[in-house]
Structure 1
């Protein structure tokens, strides 16, 4: 059975959360049943199926954010939170 499409908010709403230096904070829930991005009270949350082993969850979050923002995953750099649920990414040129 095919996996359902990820639930993503509007790209403009996601872009509005990016600060002037191109940074984006996100709270991650690894090992979720569905992949989704949501904005609640001005905070971006990401749910990914990947388990937090060997960087798989970080890669899944990067891919999900890239899809939501309409960017290539290589344009997102993990700045902070490699082993934490609270992560910060930066959009690079």
Structure 2
């Protein structure tokens, strides 16, 4: 089965940029969507022990075209609304 295309965010990959996302864990597939409300991330993993946060970090890094170690979670470690910064 083909992997769904991610939203291309490479134009936004500037050092110091912040990305606010609304996360839906336990989704049917992994996806990162940019709509009128902002960024929405859907991940298949459960929100236990930071697994969902790592999955979102991986999706965002792939969409930005950067290493996942360059993304720092600023807010929302245990919430659906998260804020990441690109270092």
Considering the TM-score relative to the shorter chain, is it more than 0.5? yes
* Alignment of 1:38 onto 2:38: no
Q: Secondary structure at the match of 1:82?
A: coil
CA distance in 2: counterparts of 1:75 and 1:40, whole angstroms: 24
Instruction: For structure 1, list consecutive stretches of 5 or more residues without a partner in the other structure.
Output: none
RMSD: 2.0
Partner residue, 1:24: 19
Q: TM-score normalized by structure 1?
A: 0.83
Q: Which has the higher contact order (CA 8 A, sep 6+)?
A: 2
Unaligned residue ranges in structure 2 (runs of 5+)? none
- CA drift of 1:4 comes to 4.0
Name the stretch that deviates more: 38-47 or 72-81: 38-47
Structure 1 residues 35-74: aligned runs within 5 Å = 35-74=30-69
Aligned length in residues: 87
Cα distance between partner residues in 1 of 2:59 and 2:46: 15
